[in-house]
């Protein structure tokens, strides 16, 4: 296990889907690229603020899953708060921070054993 891939946090950023491209551009501006995006997420923020993709509760949100070194979490929070302050007041945006045991950026080359018998089965399954 390589030390450089330990001590990370996952930051889950919930934001109105209409702001998705704006947040992506912001990440480009700060040279941050370790994230994934889940679109069309229905959320309930309060009794009166719901994004359920219906006529009564229109809109959806998206979730950005950021992989951030533990030592950089406070700086990322500062960046995200600064970004949020640039948006109109009514935009819903929140952040959750979760522990991560480790990050494996390239599973193919990681020093993890392979189940050879299962590998053969899988390879043969797709060769017909």
**What does the DSSP 8-state code read for residue 83?**
H
pTM as predicted:
0.78
Continuous segment of H or E residues that includes residue 119: helix 116-125
Model pLDDT, residue 73: 96
Classify strands 8-16 and 61-69 as parallel, antiparallel or unpaired.
antiparallel
pLDDT tens track for 62-113: 999 999 999 999 999 999 999 999 999 988 899 999 998 888 888 888 888 9
Q: Of 17, 11, 27, which is closest to residue 91 (Cα–Cα)? A: 17
Q: For the chain, which residues make up each domain, given as ranges?
A: 3-125
The first and second tokens of residue 125, run together, are 């399954």
User: Tell me, which fold does domain 3-125 have in CATH?
Assistant: Alpha-Beta Plaits (3.30.70)
pLDDT tens track for 49-58: 766 666 666 6
Largest CA distance in the chain: 57
Q: CA-CA distance, 66 to 12, in Å (whole number)?
A: 6
């Amino acid at each position: 296990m390589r030390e450089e891939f330990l001590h990370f946090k996952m930051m889950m950023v919930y934001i109105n889907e209409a702001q998705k491209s704006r947040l992506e551009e912001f990440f480009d501006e700060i040279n941050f690229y370790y994230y994934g995006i889940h679109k069309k997420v229905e959320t309930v923020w309060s009794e009166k603020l719901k994004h359920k993709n219906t006529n009564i509760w229109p809109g959806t949100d998206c979730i950005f899953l950021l992989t951030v070194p533990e030592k950089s979490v406070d700086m990322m929070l500062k960046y995200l708060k600064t970004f949020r302050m640039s948006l109109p007041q009514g935009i819903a945006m929140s952040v959750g921070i979760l522990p991560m045991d480790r990050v494996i950026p390239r599973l193919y080359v990681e020093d993890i054993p392979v189940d050879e018998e299962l590998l053969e089965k899988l390879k043969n399954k797709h060769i017909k």
